[in-house]
Amino acid sequence: MAGPSYIKLGFDSLTFDFKTGENYPIYYFLNVQNVGPGTERFEISSGQPWVFVRQEGTDFNFVELPSRAYINFVLEIRPVGLPDGVSKAKVNLRVLDIDSLVSQEVVLDEAEILIVLNKNIVLTPTVKPTLSPVITPVLTQTFSPTPTPISTLQPTQSPQAAVDLSPILKQIQSLIDSIQALLKRFF
């Protein structure tokens, strides 16, 4: 197609998630701008019975739009009756030359918007284990010239799968507190 571009869209694909029991239909305002040199007829259509399209504020699926002007087309998505899973539809937008509509239809520009509806899809995150160093306390005893034992904790590192460290850290803190209490009794 030669000639100037007329259609300016924010997106060329839209994805919607729907779970049974949620409010429906789903409404989306598709903002379209005429970036062409003159006033032309913008038409919107859908090939699927579950996607309804119209100009905002009317039931018309077309509008004569001056150059640089904006319009919202309403996409009304009705997921009820669709099977669970992924459903796809295409919304077509065409710009027709107003002057040629009497004699023949001349298409100046076209755009296609892919609509994806995820109905009752539960995404389960995949967990990939990663290796990270985990500090494991080792209790060693050293003796001073007097026969009083002194306990110290020395960290060592060992690779293990990453886990929630909160319970482990609480146990370590409890162990440290117990050792300190034991040492206070001896001194």
> pLDDT 10s per residue in the chain (187 long)?
456 799 999 889 999 999 999 999 999 999 999 999 999 999 999 989 999 999 999 999 999 999 999 999 999 999 999 999 999 999 999 999 998 877 788 999 999 999 999 999 976 666 665 655 555 555 544 444 444 444 444 444 444 445 566 667 777 787 788 788 778 777 7
Instruction: Look at residues 69, 68, 64 and name the one whose alpha carbon lies nearest to residue 97.
Output: 64
Residues 11, 78, single domain; the answer is: yes
Out of 80, 97, 119, pick the residue that ends a domain: 119
Task: Decide if 125 is inside a domain.
Answer: no
**Residues 6 or more apart from 71 whose CB is under 8 A from it?**
31, 32, 33, 42, 55, 56, 63, 65
Question: Based on the structure, what is the number of domains in the chain?
Answer: 2
Mean pLDDT of the chain: 81
pTM of the model: 0.62
Q: What are phi and psi of 173, to 5 degrees?
A: -60, -40
Residues 41, 102, single domain; the answer is: yes
Task: Decide if 126 is inside a domain.
Answer: no
Task: Decide if 1 is inside a domain.
Answer: no
